Amino acid sequence: MKLEAKTLQANAFYSFQKHNVLLSEKNKEWSDDHPCNIEVVSNKGCVPHDLIPDNSCLRSIYNSEIFQRFLKTVLSLPEIHPYTDNLSSINYNYYNYKQQLGWHFDNASFAISLMVQSPESGGTFQILKDVRCVEKNKINFSKIEAVLKNKTKVQEIKLEEATLVLFNGNNYLHRVTPVTSKKSRILATLNYNLKKNIKLSENARLIFFGRLN
Ligand SMILES: O=C(O)CCC(=O)C(=O)O
Ligand SMILES: [Fe+2]
């Protein structure tokens, strides 16, 4: 997978985007300095699903019944489904020197990633748990503000190569700090939904893939 990811890197789309933590359009009912309107920077690269070869190991893992059964058991989910757009189900993400992913909540209810290549320094995965509860339609604006203004401690998770990470990305505020080594951080994401026929939001697709299909 490391070899495949490096070969595909030439086709990566590098966003240089400012976005808010919700990955949504600005909410005009709120001021510009409202925690959910504050903009952060993301400039990682991404190779989307449609550019990953049919015989890719990443695709085999993603489609594997054994792997899917493992996820459903560990995460207590009745069913999981792929995205129906052609970009979002599996991705390779590239963080080169000085590149980062700004604070955000995912659209999807849970996130699965596999570290393909760890950087030598920087590129740290940071999270703050339970900042939002999508199920109860609750969000803690003051916690978001404290994180964005560096006024609170966050959890740092060291990811060795080949670490599989399962996390509640739509309720945990999370980011990847800028990589500070010449060695890039390369991470595969395996994205599923609880319901059938879901596409990633158009705004998020434009931000991370630079196209809608
Ligand atoms: O690169 C990571 O470790 C996290 C990626 C992530 O949060 C995302 O793609 O939404
Ligand atoms: Fe995320």
Backbone angles phi, psi at 173, to 5 degrees: -80, 130
Ligand 2 is an ion; its neighbours by CB within 5 Å are 106, 169
Determine if ligand 1 sits within 6 Å of the CB of residue 176. Answer: yes
The total number of residues shown for the chain amounts to 213
Q: In the prediction, which pLDDT does 21 show?
A: 96
Determine if ligand 1 sits within 6 Å of the CB of residue 42. Answer: no
CB-CB contact of 55 with 37 (8 Å): no
Q: In the prediction, which pLDDT does 174 show?
A: 98
CATH superfamily of 2-209: Jelly Rolls (2.60.120.10)
Backbone angles phi, psi at 29, to 5 degrees: -75, -15
The rounded Å distance from CA 175 to ligand 1 centre is: 7
Q: In the prediction, which pLDDT does 108 show?
A: 81
Determine if ligand 1 sits within 6 Å of the CB of residue 188. Answer: no
Hey, where are the domains in the chain?
2-209
Q: In the prediction, which pLDDT does 107 show?
A: 82
Q: In the prediction, which pLDDT does 189 show?
A: 97
| Most informative mutation of 174, 208, 209 for ligand 1 (most atoms within 8 A of CB) | 174
How close are the terminal C-alpha atoms of the chain, in Å?
Answer: 24
Residues 6+ apart with CB under 8 A from 73: none
- From the CA of 158, the nearest ligand is 1
The rounded Å distance from CA 28 to ligand 1 centre is: 27
**Regions in the chain scoring below 70 on pLDDT:** none
Element (H, E) at 76: none
Query: If you write DSSP's letter for every residue of 113-143 in order, what string do you get?
Result: EEEEE--SSB--EEEESSSEEGGGTEE-HHH
